[in-house]
Structure 1
Amino acid sequence: MIEDIAEEWTVRESTRPFQGRVTGVCSDEVLMPDGSYARRDYQTHPGSVAVLALDEHQRVLLVRQYRHPVRRRLWELPAGLLDVPGENPLHAAQRELFEEAYCKAGRWQVLVDLYTSPGGSDEALRIFLATELAEAQGERFAADGEELEIETARVPVAELLQGVLAGELHNPTLVTGTLALHAALTGKGLDQLRPAEAPWPARPFDLP
């Protein structure tokens, strides 16, 4: 079985030329195997969670919103930042499902973990699978910014898979989640997935 391993090369100097409200830029001088040093600039990121919510008809709950850097309105999974210090990733995912889709789930599992762009960012993403869906209760979240025009839809898994392979869907979280779900459904089934509180070395957390 193959797996990624943790490793840390020597850093001679590290600076932060930019720090925004959530993300920043780190510039490191890293020791290379030949003894030279090379500068590596990358985005620092608190991490993210996303939710692939699957209903009893094998449809996935999607949201669509405008993404300014790519000048497109993209179909995506409900998702958000791990920007609350010490928050459990599962609790963050449950919050995002409520806020973006006014939905709750009775069963949660880890679908897949990944680094979104490891050559240029340290962002780690955990995608949860949420099933046994129901409408949420309580006051709806007050949206702002891009979320003021958010749309929702429930799309069959087969249609999503077709859209991914046809190059019609581009959000990396949706693409990864769709392919991982398809692999699970056509493999050993959803029971093979890890529990919602499974360890996450990229973003360690304490159980409540």
Structure 2
Amino acid sequence: LTFERSHVVSGAAGEVSDADYPDTWEHAGLSLPLRYEFDPGADADGVTVTVPLAALNQVEGHDFAWQVPGLREELVTALIKTLPKALRRQLVPAPDHARAALDNLEPGSEPLLAALGRELGRMTGVQVPRDAWRPDRLPAHLRMTFQVVDDRGAVLAEGEDLAEVRQRVRPQLRETLSALADDLERHGIQTWDLGALPRSRQRQHDGYLVQVFPALVDEGDSVA
């Protein structure tokens, strides 16, 4: 069989840039690796961001809800289609409304659903309640997967709900952060000789700048 280039390459392919599907996600001073997988029906279908355990507390989920640029318009279109029919039929065609809304939004500056609802309301007069959105109905490839790894790269937990993933590795996270702050740890303090207690300290760990947060613990007749 003989094919012309136009038969096998989409005319829109030239519009796709590396920036649409970056190799890393820049977040809170971290450069987090991204992996793309096309495997419909699999848990890892779509985009997976790898988060080092020590940096997990610095990661905020709302930023990732915006998805990578190459999937953002498809994401917003799909979100509009999750709305109840009474709202959805006022926002057709959904792709056009998605594109117009994104033109006036700054990705990552605020939670996606709040920004999208406000902008659609401004554009159309249609007020979309926060609980009308159903992100749980999104196709799997439009929901970011979070993968937490240890210093050796071993996967400790992964899933689409960052809070739930964080909860699953809480014991390991506490142990890791405690080790990073080992030089700050003291017990049996009965006289304040610490000076000003900093709100946070930064530590270099495995190529990442990690924040630790000093705190006082009541030990009865002393603090630690």
Which TM-score bucket, shorter chain as reference? Answer: under 0.3
| TM-score in terms of structure 1 length | 0.27
| Pair member with larger Rg | 2
| TM-score in terms of structure 2 length | 0.25
- Larger strand fraction of residues: 1
